[in-house]
Amino acid sequence: MMDRMAYLFSLEKELKDLAIDERQNALAYYGEYLADAQAAGQNDAVAVLGSPHTLAAQIKADIAMGDGALYNVNRPTSNASDNAGSDPSQSPLQSEAPPLAK
Sign of CA dihedral 56, 58, 59, 64: positive
Contact yes or no for 70/62 (Cβ under 8 A): yes
Per-residue pLDDT of 51-78, as tens digits, reads 999 999 999 998 888 876 667 654 333 3
| pTM for this model (two decimals) | 0.67
How would you write the pLDDT of the chain (102 residues) with one tens digit per residue?
Answer: 689 999 999 999 999 999 999 999 999 999 999 999 999 998 889 999 999 999 999 999 988 888 766 676 543 333 333 444 434 333 333 334 455 444
Amino acid (one-letter) located at 14: E
Q: Label each residue of the chain as H, E or C.
A: CCCHHHHHHHHHHHCCCCCHHHHHHHHHHHHHHHHHHHHCCCCCHHHHHCCHHHHHHHHHHHHHCCCHHHHCCCCCCCCHHHHCCCCCCCCHHHHCCCCCCC
According to the model, what pLDDT value does residue 72 have? Answer: 64
